[in-house]
Amino acid sequence: MRAHCVELTAAAWRTSSYSNGDGGECVEVADNVPGVLPVRDSKNPTGPALAFPHTSWTAFLGTLHR
């Protein structure tokens, strides 16, 4: 699998509904990036982000709900 760079400067980040509410271990996602769903650690907003194709993210969530 090849890694691709995705431009995230205009990403509108939000805290995932699956994160805890105390601001600790939070995951942020951005829904406004075409073709991918970026994910990052909210404690390190300038750090790396992972960008998953929508189909892969949907399959991942489906596995968690089993």
The number of folded domains in the chain is 1
Helix (H, G, I), strand (E, B) or coil at 54: helix
Does the residue 8 lie in any domain? Answer: no
Q: How confident is the model at residue 6 (pLDDT cuts 50, 70, 90)?
A: confident
The rounded distance, in Å, linking the Cα atoms of 39 and 35 is 13
Q: What is the pLDDT of residues 27-39, one digit of tens each?
A: 899 989 998 999 9
| pLDDT for residue 21 | 64
| pLDDT for residue 20 | 66
Range of the domain at 22: 13-64
Q: What is the mean pLDDT of residues 2-27?
A: 78
Does the residue 44 lie in any domain? Answer: yes
Does the residue 47 lie in any domain? Answer: yes
| pLDDT for residue 2 | 66
Does the residue 22 lie in any domain? Answer: yes
Evaluate if residue 15 carries a pLDDT over 90.
Answer: no
Give me 23's structure tokens. Answer: 């601001």
